[in-house]
Structure 1
């Protein structure tokens, strides 16, 4: 088994590839296979951002593995103007939906309920198959609500620690 603990910047050369969905790229512990069929065990540091398409991984035996975003069933969302697109993004964000943002479009994992909501808002939704790389979030550590007093809880930037003087 190819054992991986280390993330690397995008490599110019690599020995193997792993093709992963966004959900799989979001896990710090994962068992998968390379494109050539070799078993892989990912044991990455917890709390990191998801792996991105083209990122490198270094195996314990020194080999470099390139991460490839596997195409997924997505909805490609467009609107007639920036106001309507912003409104669609607001409603998706209000539902904590993973969202990829492009120039004049949004992409989400295909979901018939969200498609109906978006169409009711006036958006156009096209079913496509493409790699999914949603925004990671402003705080970088995933989704949080109030966890005051939890020892392991920590927002990213200190400027958002209200009441704390720098």
Structure 2
């Protein structure tokens, strides 16, 4: 049995890509680093990739004997989400993101794995949801998680721009979208304490002896 353990980052000549045997996998299988698989022509192989690898349609792999294998994204049951306005489609993407749902983003649609609960939520938002059998290739993540594919040439630039814009506009204010909204104005009188708030995730539950005045507008 051959072992497939490398992915090419360099482009191959089209004739080599065309001649390579194919390995058709659904999204869940393309996320696995260890997998017993069968090439489309019937050969059984062992897929051994670095942990965290997510294979994409068109990726070229190399077996331990030097042979090439081309990845094909298998059609699977997905939801195609459309909306009568860009704003509504953006809201749908926001709510799916809040649930850490893998989503493929198109020019005028969102695509996700079929899920009756999410389908009901999307319809309640006013979206138009349809079932189709299509390959599924969701976004790889905007915070450095997941795998960056070779064809994601603008991923780094997009991420840097997003961080810059966020820093410029939200560096000193935080807007949270909850079922209820609270605006808090906190005034702290510090006598002799210097606090370094550069670390995220620090615990504010300790007592610093502050004089706190809270004004709550509900």
Q: What TM-score do the two structures reach when normalised by structure 1?
A: 0.82
Query: 2-side partners of 1:118 and 1:140: how far apart?
Result: 27
1:124 is aligned, of 121, 128, 135, to 128
TM-fit CA distance, 1:141: 2.5
**What does residue 112 of structure 2 align with?**
108
TM-fit CA distance, 1:163: 3.8
- Counterpart mapping for 1:42-61 below 5 A: 42-48=47-53, 50-61=54-65
TM-fit CA distance, 1:73: 0.3
- Counterpart mapping for 1:69-108 below 5 A: 69-108=73-112
Query: 1-side partners of 2:6 and 2:82: how far apart?
Result: 38
Q: How many residue pairs align between the two structures?
A: 148
Q: Which deviations, in whole Å up to 9, do the C-alpha atoms of 1:102-160 show, x marking residues without a partner?
A: 00100000111111110000000010010000001013334xxxxxxxxxxxxx99x8x
1:30 is aligned, of 35, 45, 49, to 35
Q: Which deviations, in whole Å up to 9, do the C-alpha atoms of 1:71-103 show, x marking residues without a partner?
A: 000000000011000000011111111100000
1:16 is aligned, of 6, 13, 21, to 21
Q: Comparing both structures, which one devotes a greater share of its residues to helix?
A: 2
TM-fit CA distance, 1:47: 2.5
Structure 2 residue runs without a partner (length 5+): 147-158, 164-196, 200-218
| 8 A Cα contact 2:31 2:52, kept in partner | no
Q: What TM-score do the two structures reach when normalised by structure 2?
A: 0.63
Off by >3 Å, runs of 4+ in structure 1: none
Matched residue of 1:65: which SS? Answer: strand
